Structure 1
């Protein structure tokens, strides 16, 4: 029996079912903001596809509004007493709606993972008592928690003992943001949205399993790759920007090309982006959510109005790859471009065909093994993260490791970036 992959674009209310050769075998078009993801899935099945053949559903969900959908959260900083305090720079409306008790306690680690100071467990327990009955979730972040998450793990265990398992705890070390404030903000927003994300994704998961109990559910991330259902419930911020990212990948796949410059026109705005090797080039800028800077990075996009030079934007988007084709989604005109007849399905196609990826962006202490050992560790961490996201370890592709020496730290260290990406692991045939 041929397996089907379903892509649900709940933002534009579009859905597609695709076979193992990435051909669209069914599609449906609903009403944005009226048709829920569950209704879209039901409408797609009603088109006559065999629900038992669906082995994967990949969804793009509308982005939440934190001040409206988030819950009050406590925030704990481990170490970093001389740094800017937690929640600095948060808009007043956001902090007023979401911020519960905030504390900074002794602890944290150095660049090489050695403790800066013992974790102050008594202060953590006092913070937990302040949170009891006052918050729906807790976020914590430790200095250099990416290199050594031990203090975060100890604090999370103590918080769970005091608050109980029904209060979610989100850790900064679960993100890949290199900066402490970005990790902290990401963990805080993931914590605030934990209850909302869990309920929304669980509802869709129940609908998927109603049609096929064996089907797997994934959510699209902001880079167009996927997160498994349970991981997406824990990391709502990872899915910001999913609709546009999936559209870029899906447009190239609809056009039958592996890489492309994609031009999307909606209303009076045109967006130009690039997809290559299943990845979107990063701009280097951080994403903001509700006016708060978080760890996720933005893809490299150019936003134009009708009077802007589209040809110049396309030339820049090629980044020296002059043979990259141009794919059009919308009604603007570009010479020698591929115009999609079903461009409104691009994001749903991008979801249905999405891959899994893992990325690492952190400072590595370069010990006796030097750069080679650090680079090998970065590649392995990226591969491990990709496999946790659902990738088949046998077919992973790796990007070259990027390195920036850290000349202002007291130990030999370098910032390394690495990514691994590949197709989702296929379920074992019965």
Structure 2
């Protein structure tokens, strides 16, 4: 048996899965102390479907802890960014494009040092260790506890980042060090930004992961704990402590993976309506389509792996203003009561009209006390639901990349807000257990390995280089814990870089396999 857990801004969902079947699932309100919320959800799961904790072989968790901390500028470690690239790159120093409040929350410490490489591995300048040591002394004096090191073209040659990490580690043995070639992709500023974000969350990651582990152990479960990554694969707790940015989009990713699994559709559009937002994405071959461009997180441009998701400010907890529109009509969201839905919504005796109240008044859901919204104006109810349907229809169309018909799967507890057909006539599929698709997606997650770098391909060597890249991705998946016989390549992307000499080609390969669990 496996247990999948997804912690959202409004609800915490838990699913007990075995042999491809969902044995039980529960949805509870997210609490201020998220680990307490997980414990409460596990207790409710045990009451609904008693199970032996010793029979659980793995626990998978998707969490919003880290992205919430970044967005809210809280619990971020004092962080220093070291870029190896002088005499190049000086025009745009580290943190140059960051929102000022967020940069200040980290301490705003950016440093430029000599080093870096060209795309073909030639050094821009040699690493100056004396210069680097002076930089580390200044970092120590300013009280930074986490260090982000970025070298130009480090995905091609990581030598200088690794050498710099040795110098920093020797001088500041207690510092948490993040290296850009392990986190981001090609693109200096975006990769550097992703590395700085990761470094700022390292201390929080230790606390959060330890807290999650304690919550699981407190329920008597001794199984290994894994966290969901942005691409729908898993990482163990040690990896999560080092790379918290890899969890940022785990919520939408789990929902899309769970929707595909529950519906049996390997290719589909997914609309996940939660308590705060509606996330729309495309699933291809069972995995979310990844964003091909830079992704902005809390106003910071990054380029680590993220699903291509369109988020709308519409959910079950969205506030409804009956006459808030410019035309005097209703307005839904984008603000939400979040996890306070159980005390704020009208059907629970609260003072705030929410989208959930409208769904209950329309007879689409049986939540709380329906008598409290029995007299809601019919025109208001119809107007709110029409507005939601129109926004989702438009969102799905914006995410399409072709005119070919594409099944649409609706999941999440808030999907009761949607009609059986969208405004363009497209039918919605609501599979069994659709309210907890995110938890199911976490429970069925696989282990992945990825290669993404620039290769210089000699004439006649293209096939050999591709084969080498595929094998490297497979090997990485196996090292991450995948069963060797189950690993397969699910995505290959090959982009010739015409602006670089030497037949330079960016190759990205992704392989996935089933998680190895002890008998």
TM, length-normalised to structure 2: 0.75
1:136 aligns with 2:145: yes
2:360 corresponds to: none
C-alpha displacement of 1:122? 0.6
Matches within 5 A, 1:361-400: 361-367=452-458, 370-400=461-491
Q: What is the RMSD computed on CA atoms of the aligned residues?
A: 2.6
Structure 1, unmatched stretches of 5+, are none
1:60-107 deviation per Cα after TM superposition (whole angstroms, max 9, x unaligned) = 112332221211111111115432211110110011110353221111
Is 2:22 the counterpart of 1:24? yes
Q: Give distance in 2, aligned partners of 1:263 and 1:8.
A: 19
Aligned-residue offset at 1:218: 1.0
Which of 2, 5, 17 matches 2:2? 5
Could you say if the C-alpha distance between residues 53 and 139 of structure 1 is closer, same or farther in structure 2, counting changes exceeding 3 Å? same
1:64 aligns with 2:72: no
CA shift for structure 1 position 323 = 6.5
Report the Cα offset of residue 25 of structure 1: 1.7
Provide, for residues 299-355 of structure 1, a one-character-per-residue CA deviation record: whole Å limited to 9, x for no partner.
334556636375676567565595653322213222543224532211001101111
Deviation at 1:358?
2.4
1:159 matched to 2:156? The reply is: no
Shift of 1:291: 0.8
Structure whose alpha-carbon radius of gyration is higher: 2
Residues 290 and 323 of structure 1: is their aligned pair in 2 closer, same or farther, counting only changes over 3 Å? closer
Distance in 1 (CA, whole Å) between partners of 2:113 and 2:271 is: 49
How many residues align? The count is 423
Q: Structure 1 residues 145, 289: CA separation in 2 closer, same or farther (over 3 Å shift)? A: same
Maintained 8 Å contact 2:293/2:303: no
Q: Secondary structure at the match of 1:399?
A: strand
Q: For 2:485, what is the secondary structure of its paired residue? A: helix
Cα distance, 1:275 vs structure 2: 1.6
- Could you list the per-position Cα deviations for residues 127-181 of structure 1 after superposition, in whole angstroms to 9, with x for gaps in the alignment? 11112251111010111111111111111011111011x2100000112411111
1:203 & 1:309 partners in 2: Cα distance? 38
Aligned to 1:357: 448
Q: In the superposition, relative to structure 1, how do residues 168 and 244 fare at CA in structure 2: closer, same or farther (>3 Å)?
A: same
Per the alignment, in what secondary structure is the counterpart of residue 247 of structure 1? Answer: helix
More moved, 132-141 vs 393-402? 393-402
- Of residues 235-244 and 263-272 in structure 1, the stretch that sits farther from structure 2 once superposed is 263-272
| 1:229 Cα offset (Å) | 1.3
Pair 1:178–1:80, CA change in 2 (3 A): farther
Q: Does 1:295 align with 2:303?
A: yes
Q: CA 1:302–1:254 in 2, change beyond 3 Å: closer, same or farther?
A: same
> Could you tell me the TM-score, scaled by structure 1's length?
0.90
Give 1:98's aligned residue. Answer: 106
After superposition, the Cα gap between the structure-2 partners of 1:25 and 1:400, relative to the gap in structure 1 and judged at 3 Å, is: closer
What runs of 5+ residues in structure 2 fail to find an aligned partner? 313-386
| CA displacement at 1:381 relative to structure 2 | 3.1
Task: State whether structure 2 residue 152 is matched by structure 1 residue 148.
Answer: no
CA change 1:85–1:206 in 2 (3 A) is same
Per-residue deviation, residues 256-296 of structure 1 (Å, max 9, x unmatched): 33333222345796543222323111232322222111122
Distance 1:121 1:373, change over 3 A: farther
- Taking a change above 3 Å as real, the CA distance of residues 395 and 212 of structure 1, as seen in their structure-2 partners, is farther
